[in-house]
Amino acid sequence: MATVLLAGGAGYIGSHTAVELLNAGYEVVIADNFANSSPESVRRVEQITGKKVTLYELDIKDRAGLSEVFHAHQIDAVIHFAGLKAVGESVEKPIMYYRNNIDTTLSLLEVMQEADVKKIIFSSSATVYGETNPVPYTETMPRGVCTNPYGWTKAMMEQIFEDAARADQALSVILLRYFNPIGAHASGRIGEDPQGIPNNLMPYVTQVAVGKRACLTIYGNDYPTPDGTCTRDYIHVVDLAKGHVKAIQYILQNHCMEIINLGTGQPYSVTEIVDTFEKVNGVKINHVYGARRAGDLPACYANADKALEILGWKTELSLEDMCRDAWNWQKQNPNGYQNA
Ligand code: NAD
Ligand code: UFG
């Protein structure tokens, strides 16, 4: 079976993808510098699957170190998750974001070229659709004007991959544009473990539920949406992980340069998330309505047809599943992987 290198594979989406790849019979190698994760997630991936992962503590920007990984293994394909992803922090520290996110990408492409590895899947984001494209977003729409440096790094990296694939006819690339991944593995052993105060909605909700935060502020209830709060395309992280397995199967069999949305196509509002979480889990989420958050779009959701057409993939898990599994993870791990 093929060997897949997960750059940044100890993180939230990478660890869930590792589980699904191992379950599908792939060999998994992870390289991560633990900038936003810990080796504990990889240990738990091994527990869940009963299979071994080869783990390297490595900064992907370190070309020499990365080259050693490619010499030590016959890598068939790479999934590039490694990146910094906090939108607000990227506004404060743009240079750090450009350096880390762009350099990891260049480093991977250079070392892959040396090692003659020709298949790479990249973690892109719905954020590249920008502010002006109408929802639902389809892959044929042009990249838009991003609202923060994090988003620009994704747009720039997409451009780098497209140019690299144009120049090297043998290089295959799939750019996966994720919508809003939430939830956790059903075991509750792996999940999202944000550092400090969560920026994203679901980890904030679960931390209110577990008593770590007093109250959720819902950012704005005067948007042009059915209930006035923003709508997003929330996708269960296990569905998302399975989408990566399909993308690996596809890229191993086809020469390609594809952009593919990974979403459900179904928008839900912030209020619907809070209501569903309370109902499914039987807990109260103390919340207030506050001002709009700068940079938020009223609505963001996918047209998910292409993933079904090309990869034969669509989501299977519901919003109820997402809320239940997110809470199960948080309850079992009130401090994430810390002190595990
Ligand atoms: P995460 O922070 O949990 O995972 C990213 C991993 O990359 C972490 O383990 C981190 O330690 C590692 N990393 C960062 N810089 C590195 C470097 N220089 N060398 C080695 N490892 C490095 O984030 P995630 O939610 O799992 O996201 C994975 C990818 O998906 C990221 O590229 C992110 O931008 C993208 N994405 C995430 C979302 C989301 O909402 N979670 C949405 C769209 C796109
Ligand atoms: N929200 C709140 N209160 C909070 C946190 C979030 O009301 O405490 C609201 C936001 O205003 C937004 C919704 O919940 O309406 C979702 O917010 P998130 O921060 O969870 O997600 P975003 O849609 O803002 O951002 C996500 C990813 C980014 C990515 C972007 C676009 O976190 O990486 O989608 O794809 F760039």
pLDDT at 183: 98
**Residue 104 Cβ < 6 Å to ligand 1:** yes
pLDDT at 340: 62
Cα(245)–Cα(256) distance, rounded to whole angstroms? Answer: 16
pTM of the complete model = 0.99
DSSP assigned state of 137: B
What is the torsional sign of CA 71, 76, 80, 81?
A: negative
**Residue 271 Cβ < 6 Å to ligand 2:** no
Q: Which residues are catalytic?
A: 150
**Residue 123 Cβ < 6 Å to ligand 2:** no
pLDDT at 339: 67
Closest ligand relative to 302 C-alpha? 2
Asked if residue 66 has pLDDT above 90, the reply is: yes
Cα(286)–Cα(66) distance, rounded to whole angstroms? Answer: 46
Helix, strand, or coil (residue 3): strand
Cα(193)–Cα(199) distance, rounded to whole angstroms? Answer: 12
**Residue 199 Cβ < 6 Å to ligand 2:** yes
Closest ligand relative to 60 C-alpha? 1
* pLDDT tens, residue by residue, 100-113: 999 999 999 999 99
Angle value at C-alpha 215, between 212 and 221, nearest 5 degrees: 145
pLDDT at 100: 98
**Residue 234 Cβ < 6 Å to ligand 2:** no
Rounded distance from Cα 85 to ligand 1 centre (Å): 6
- pLDDT bin (cut points 50, 70, 90) of residue 305 is very high
Using the atom order of ligand 2, give the atom closest to the CA of residue 218: 7
**Environment class of 281 (CB within 10 Å of its CB; exposed 0-12, middle 13-18, buried 19+):** buried
Rounded distance from Cα 274 to ligand 1 centre (Å): 25
- Quickly list DSSP for 212-271: SSS-EEEE-S-SSSTTSS-EE-EEEHHHHHHHHHHHHHHHHH---EEEEEES-S--EEHH
- pLDDT bin (cut points 50, 70, 90) of residue 219 is very high
- Report the residue among 85, 145, 293, 323 best suited for mutation to probe ligand 2: largest number of ligand atoms under 8 A from its CB: 293
Q: Tell me the pairing of strands 231-232 and 216-219.
A: unpaired
Using CA atoms, how far residue 175 sits from 86, 154, 247, 325, in Å, is 20, 10, 10, 27
